[in-house]
Chains A and B, each alone.
Chain A
């Protein structure tokens, strides 16, 4: 089990090691100590390994993650798991702006709060936030699920395409073309499936959530809607 202390090993060395994990490698569980808010820790990993980071991380931690499970025992800076393709990123603390931005797949789980623009332009990722999300979350979201146990800030889902947003708490305001939609059984099932993937199914009744999504009025430019752009 590689045990890396970032006060000793330069960050570039760590990322180089993580990028060169070959198929069938026995080094499947990595421990990273003293992250000290450094940027791009474990970004660009493409291997089915687990990376545990003990402390707060800076920007773009686990960005572009593919296959790996990255656990942050602290809070994360801007753009955690941005453009994630697959795998799991689990932040035990809070996340800053643009968590899971443009994520294509995989699961981002944040136990605390996420700041503004969580899931901006998400493209298929599942994001599960234990606390609240800040303003303009799911801005231009295209696919995937954003599940929020707490409240959502202003302009949730502004200019949203087809992502599904489930919020249990209060929504301060909805962005342009984002509306509340009925929570039918099929949606409760879909939410249950997301919670299963996050390993927390059965803890909370999906019926407590409200569903939000696109009204599909902004798909094509229409001069009559100019005021809404």
Chain B
């Protein structure tokens, strides 16, 4: 099982509703993945600024933490979202902030990084996870989300999706990979560290590695058709849009809806049925082994 949703807005008109629409889609897919949920939202970004999405244990004093961080790196602001917080700071000081956090607050994980992307994930019913983070109030151009029914590894936050694959990039996955142990071994030799035994973390690492070797995202996805064995529907979020790839057998479901206002992805049509104009949208299934991308 597992469920995936994605929503890409073509015009600014619906941007204030992005979070509310995505939250509804995510909640609907809760029946496909009641273990945990996560999502990435691409909101407004400031050129020259980086957002670090941080996750800490319950009750983390992010305000106090950032006050201390400022003493070292200077300018930084923070927005709180339950167990997560979004830290905004000048791009040049992002690495220094990450180093400072690793040294002074090892309990804090950096789950996402980018100019626009904010990423949240938690264990629990998707509807409740979305409510805890205040997804319905978030705005932006596009978002992807995932509801998890664990098959390959334990139900933990680290096992939840999305997985970051680079700045402003993340991956969600429905399916399971059968050669993830072998791919993980190869990637470890390339210097990658893995936090879990999860197969999707390996797929994310694989894409990151391919892009580090110089392939653009679309080409990295194509390469995965040859190197990743198993069954999967991938949805990747990038700064300007999102992409979809299904394996060559395509037994994992995927349905798309497109109107003049948006392109939406759902594991099932149910996830799309609540979108404005869904009844008259063009509805179709992505072809197997074909990389799709929507950008603006």
Contacts and interface: CB of A to CB of B under 8 A. Distances in A.
Interface residues of A, number: 18
> Majority SS of interface residues in chain B?
loop
Given A36-B273, A37-B269, A56 B283 contact: yes
Nearest to B266: A37
A116 B250 contact: yes
A55 B269 CA distance: 11
A124 interface: no
Mostly, the A contact residues are loop
A74 to B, nearest CB: 8
A96 B288 contact: no
Contacts of A121: none
Contact of B272 (A37, A39, A55, A135): A37
B251 A75 contact: no
A183 interface: no
Contact of A115 (B270, B273, B274, B285): B285
A177 to B, nearest CB: 19
A94 interface: yes
B250 to A, nearest CB: 6
Contacts of B272: 37
Contacts, number: 42
Contacts of A135: 250, 288
A58 B270 contact: yes
Contacts of B253: 77-78, 96-97
Interface string A112-130: 0001100000000000000
Contacts of A75: 269, 283
B288 A116 contact: yes
Interface in A123-161: 135
B228 interface: no
A55 B279 contact: yes
Contacts of B273: 36-37, 56
Interface in A11-55: 36-39, 55
Contacts of A38: 270
Interface in A56-88: 56, 58-59, 75, 77-78
B269 A77 contact: yes
Interface of B: 250-251, 253, 255, 268-274, 279, 283-285, 288
Interface of A: 36-39, 55-56, 58-59, 75, 77-78, 93-94, 96-97, 115-116, 135
